[in-house]
Amino acid sequence: MLLARILATAAAATVFAVSTSAAAGVLAIAAPVITSSGNDAQSASMSVSGSVLTQGSTATISYFNPALAGQWVCIEIDNGSRRHPLSTTVEIQLDACGRGTGTWIVDCWDVAKFNGPGCAEVTCAVTR
C-alpha cells in the first residue's frame, strides 16, 4: 500500500529509479523533487497576450511546465514599484501535459511584471 502511494507520487515526476536489496530487504526509490525555485527553467515558459497591455482589458497568461503537469500554479503579478508596490495572483490549473492559461483584468498601473515558477519574468507596459 505504501509502495503504491510512493510510486503514484513519483509517477508525476516521470523519472524515478527503483532498486532493491534482497539480503537487507530494502527498497529504495529515488525521484526528483519538484520545486518552484527555478531549477526547471529550461522546461518552463510563460507568455502574456501582448507586450503592451491596456488598463481594464483582459490579459491572457499562458504557462507551460511539464514537471508540474496536473497541478495548480500561482502567477504573481506586480506593478514594479518600490515606493508603492502592488501585486495580485492568478492561479492556473495545468493539464496533463503541463499547459494552462489564466486571465487577468489589467490594473491601472504603468507596468505589469509576471512571475511564475521556474521561468523568467515577463514585463509588459500598460497604457490607458
Helix (H) or strand (E) holding 70: none
Summarised one tens digit per residue, pLDDT across range 2-55 is: 333 333 434 443 333 333 334 433 333 333 334 344 444 458 999 999 889 999
Q: Are residues 62 and 19 in the same domain?
A: no
Rounded to two decimals, what is the model's pTM? 0.67
Per-residue cell: 74? 500561482
- Asked, for residue 18, whether it belongs to a domain, the answer is yes
The mean pLDDT value for 96-108 works out to 97
Task: Please report the pLDDT score of residue 5 as a whole number.
Answer: 39
More confident residue, 30 or 73: 73
Q: Are residues 76 and 118 in the same domain?
A: yes
Helix (H) or strand (E) holding 9: helix 2-11
Q: Which domain holds residue 11?
A: 1-33
Report yes or no: 63 and 100 within 8 Å, Cβ to Cβ.
Answer: yes
CATH code assigned at 95:
2.60.40.1930
